[in-house]
Structure 1
């Protein structure tokens, strides 16, 4: 689609046009011309929204869609539509489907379902057969089929030798291993952060120690084996310190944080809202502050929405019995932009591309167009009517957010809200 963007503010630190207001002419998926004023050359579609901004396309490194197996939670088609309307041009999709995405054919199936869409879908293959944690899955075959990384979603690798072998084996084809960190024997049956709030609520806690023990073990393994390790959704102050120390040693380790752990703390659980039953759990205000500082310093590589749709039957129950998880694509940008400056918010949504080997293209004449469209100045309240996802289990429902995504232009296609 050929379009003309009128009076748009460009947010792209890699471009000489950063924070400049320009007209942008897009032809055949490329920036044909960027100038202070451009006359419409051929009566093409014009976008002239008040407060329109663009940036390099946003990337979410941890998104769950239900298909195959849990289509009642989310289909790939509707999930990609949700991502586009939330401003994301690329998403890495977890393997927590039924059956688990653990083979070449599974990867090809998921890619085929997304081939027509402006949002690029990058499958994450399971690290182990059926996600059971017992034997490595067909990692090399999945990599060749298009898997971007290997991860048993929110399941820690209990066997240290298995993780050791995975880190050694994947070096032969530059594979990325993702390892969720939680010591199950320490956090057993826990549902919220183990702290004063869990005592007040009478709910069993998940100690920060459970995460930190596993991070420490996995970093020891990485130091021994080499390879590339990504630790998703860290949540504690001590975890930040451990990863900072590992990076100072030169280890090839990266990490992300869930937007929920940046915005909320465990005080929010006072109403037993099951949408706030998350993994990792909401931690203390001190942990939240440490995560924010680490993100600004670059110790944490980027932010994920950790979008995880859960159907109402598994959320509208007692807190102990509810499934973990929250959707987050629709609210991710607004939540970040409420608490961080605009430039930082965009950086946090694009920085993980480097970790996952995803191409970036600056906003400059002649370059390929892969952009997010948004208005950073609109304040709005997240309500159920704003949720495109099939499931409505948002931890930020009812929150006032600053900044609203307007859509994307990518793969020569435009989707707008």
Structure 2
């Protein structure tokens, strides 16, 4: 596939062409020329990049797909189709499947099922057997088989001693723990953020304290072992402050935030729309402001989709019994644009840093590099509806809404996908 992109703005902090308007030529899967006034050759597809941005391909480090075992929610084929449409050329998939990804057999299954795809699909192995937080899973074997990190998905590791042992064990082979922060004894059976809104709606609230106490514990353990720990899906101003201080103190703590926590606030729950029911819950405006500040000052390393597909019977029910989560792979970019992030910030938090955290090769927009990029127009509007939704599930509050920021091309593994 030979491709010439004309007049496009490059957004890549690692490239000498960052923020410059250029023509980009791709031949046989490699970027062969970047410059101005490049002339199209015979049998070369031409894309007019006027008004568009070319970024290293997006990478999602927080994605659930359901395969194996829950393919009615999402399988690898539909997940990668949704990922492509959202601009992702790579996704790291969580182990909360059936069976749980807890040995090399499940890791190899995912890798083999996803072969020859435009989207790189990388398994995250479970920390504990059955995600129960009691016995270590086969961490080293999974790492050898291709697991890029270890997580118990949306389940917090409750036992302090178990978490300490997991950190010690992964240190031996340079493994990374990605943990969900929630103190279960404080969280209880909460539904939404603890605030005036939870009182008004008559639902049990989840206090910020539950998240922040858990993060404090993991900071202490990371300090004690002098080992890296990654905190997934932070959502409160207090969490940002804790992690900022820990980083300043030299603790090897990193973290990410879900895109919807940068835009949505708890007031959206006033109509009891279960599509806004996520975990951690939507927080207050001051939390959103702190998260955005934390992104810009480097406290928050990366942005994830927190893609959580569910069948209709798990979401189209009373709020109290609805499952947590939304489909999000196709809506991350519009949310980040709505949140006010510029193209370079998006490239850093959605393309570069997620790969750095997982110690993966980072694509660079330069001559001679393998082509791995996303082209999007930050001002183009499109409607997210049944026809344009590539996920197998439909649990998104953004369906049937017009969104700003459209992916137009993705290129990876010598494969091109375009969207009109």
Task: Compute the TM-score of the two structures, normalised by the length of structure 2.
Answer: 0.96
Q: 1:384 to 1:195 in 2, by over 3 A?
A: farther
- Give per-residue Cα distances to partners, 1:364-388, cap 9 Å, x unaligned: 1111111011111213443343321
Give 3-state SS (helix, strand or coil) of 1:375's partner. Answer: strand
Alpha-carbon distance in 1 for matches of 2:198, 2:153 = 25
**Is the 8 Å Cα contact of residues 86 and 406 (structure 1) preserved in structure 2?**
no
- Where does residue 321 of structure 2 map in the other structure? 321
Give 3-state SS (helix, strand or coil) of 2:378's partner. Answer: strand
1:204 corresponds to 2:204 = yes
- Give per-residue Cα distances to partners, 1:24-76, cap 9 Å, x unaligned: 21112111112212222232222235533211111111011011111111110
**Is the 8 Å Cα contact of residues 262 and 291 (structure 2) preserved in structure 1?**
yes
Give 3-state SS (helix, strand or coil) of 2:346's partner. Answer: helix
Give 3-state SS (helix, strand or coil) of 1:219's partner. Answer: helix
- Where does residue 398 of structure 2 map in the other structure? 396
Count of aligned residue pairs for this structure pair? 417
- Give per-residue Cα distances to partners, 1:257-292, cap 9 Å, x unaligned: 111111011011011010111000001111111111
Q: CA deviation at 1:170?
A: 0.7
- Where does residue 183 of structure 1 map in the other structure? 183
Q: What residue ranges of structure 1 are gaps of 5+ in the alignment?
A: none
- Where does residue 52 of structure 2 map in the other structure? 52
Alpha-carbon distance in 2 for matches of 1:211, 1:310 = 24
Give 3-state SS (helix, strand or coil) of 2:269's partner. Answer: helix
- Where does residue 166 of structure 2 map in the other structure? 166
Q: CA deviation at 1:23?
A: 2.0
Alpha-carbon distance in 2 for matches of 1:332, 1:203 = 28
Give 3-state SS (helix, strand or coil) of 1:41's partner. Answer: coil
- Where does residue 378 of structure 1 map in the other structure? 380
- Where does residue 107 of structure 1 map in the other structure? 107
Alpha-carbon distance in 2 for matches of 1:333, 1:58 = 10
- Where does residue 64 of structure 1 map in the other structure? 64
Alpha-carbon distance in 1 for matches of 2:181, 2:401 = 29
Give 3-state SS (helix, strand or coil) of 1:230's partner. Answer: strand
**Is the 8 Å Cα contact of residues 2 and 27 (structure 1) preserved in structure 2?**
yes
Alpha-carbon distance in 1 for matches of 2:177, 2:239 = 18
1:123-142 matches, cutoff 5 A? 123-142=123-142
Q: CA deviation at 1:400?
A: 4.5
- Give per-residue Cα distances to partners, 1:221-265, cap 9 Å, x unaligned: 111112221000001111111111111121111000111111011
1:18-417 matches, cutoff 5 A? 18-48=18-48, 50-340=50-340, 341-350=342-351, 351-397=353-399, 400-417=402-419
Give 3-state SS (helix, strand or coil) of 2:60's partner. Answer: strand
Q: CA deviation at 1:403?
A: 1.2
CA-based RMSD of the aligned residues comes to 1.4
Q: CA deviation at 1:415?
A: 1.3
- Give per-residue Cα distances to partners, 1:97-156, cap 9 Å, x unaligned: 111111101000000111110111111000001111110000000000010100001111
Q: 1:179 to 1:160 in 2, by over 3 A?
A: same
Give 3-state SS (helix, strand or coil) of 2:331's partner. Answer: helix
Task: Compute the TM-score of the two structures, normalised by the length of structure 1.
Answer: 0.97
Give 3-state SS (helix, strand or coil) of 2:134's partner. Answer: coil
